[in-house]
Chain A
């Protein structure tokens, strides 16, 4: 069985500051890793994913995450955040069968001017 830990329930940052949202996972098998974003009153949107290959993956809006197998981590980073990045961010893991996506508890990113 897989599990995901997001230690930070809320991360407040100022606009244009860098941010890192932490995600650690546990699994007895090889996994795929995902970050989803949920804007207020909306559904979940896929931000980025790691399936195989390069351990550094990027999204179209400047976020990146690095898969670290030895540390079982998949932290999400952005060098300079915008007000519009304010949202809930969920890390998720699935096994290679794609049946069950297990989510972390989420991290609320609050960007202020």
Chain B
């Protein structure tokens, strides 16, 4: 069964550094998403992406965040200048309708 893959599984970065989290969605899906889960808290919506543009974003998704689909397969989340509070598990998801398929996540640790 096709799946969403995310790399790396764990990334440690220094505060103020830029990070890029990578995702390969399921190939025939058209909608792409990023969510995050701070340790012990609920999963929070960050952004949805369709037809090469952001279709909706949350208040969390400020100017420090950006998303890109640089080619036909990858979907990336960039955090320009990381803060300690950006430490979380970041999940990528894709869908062609109602069912979102989630990747196994990237654990980002900002030190």
A17 within 8 A of B: no
The number of residues on chain B lying at the interface, defined by a beta carbon within 8 Å of a beta carbon of chain A, is: 25
Known: A46-B100, A99-B55. 11 other contacts (CB 8 A): A43-B4, A43-B91, A44-B93, A46-B99, A51-B98, A90-B42, A92-B43, A98-B31, A98-B95, A101-B33, A103-B42
Instruction: Judge whether B45 and A101 touch: CB under 8 Å.
Output: yes
Per-residue CB proximity of A50-88 to B under 8 Å, as 1/0?
010000000000000000000000000000000000000
Instruction: Judge whether B98 and A43 touch: CB under 8 Å.
Output: no
The number of residues on chain A lying at the interface, defined by a beta carbon within 8 Å of a beta carbon of chain B, is: 21
Per-residue CB proximity of A8-50 to B under 8 Å, as 1/0?
0000000000000000000000001000100000111110010
Interface of B is mostly: strand
Which of A98, A103, A104 lies in contact with B97, CB distance below 8 A?
A98
Looking at B11-19, B75-83, B101-109, the stretch in contact with chain A turns out to be B101-109
